[in-house]
Structure 1
Amino acid sequence: MLVLSRCIGECLMIGEDIQLDVVNIENDIVTLNIATPPQIQVSNVPRPRRSQYKTSVKIKKRRSILLPGTGQG
């Protein structure tokens, strides 16, 4: 398991295809923007009760389109 800290506006890359952006942090809620290729599915699992965990995560997903020959979206 890898535990990282990020501030609003910072991102985390997983491989070359998956990007997680920290959009907002308010109270105990972290809002993420997740960009993945179309073949990767991202699911939002039910949030645990607040008594179990201190911090919860909201997931927002954005699709990136790769431009031919550039390797970038």
Structure 2
Amino acid sequence: MSVRKLALKAALMTSIVAMPTLVHAADASKLSVGTATAARAGADQQDGSSLGGGVIIPLLALAAIVAGILVVLDNDDDPDSP
């Protein structure tokens, strides 16, 4: 490889690595929601859940994990094709 190609690749890689830092450092205060004059406030719940969070998704995840373990540990070593 020529020195010109290596220098070009080094410049491109440096710009790829530096771009997120430059974008993060840019001033985005005009786009910020914190400067809005009418901020929305949360309301109190009258009938809150006694569980304190969602239970269905963790139970489905646990069931999927158990089903995956059962499929892996199944002793079906016979081939499906004749």
How does the TM-score come out when normalised to structure 1? 0.18
Return the structure number with greater strand share. 1
Return the structure number with greater helix share. 2
Q: Which has the higher contact order (CA 8 A, sep 6+)?
A: 1
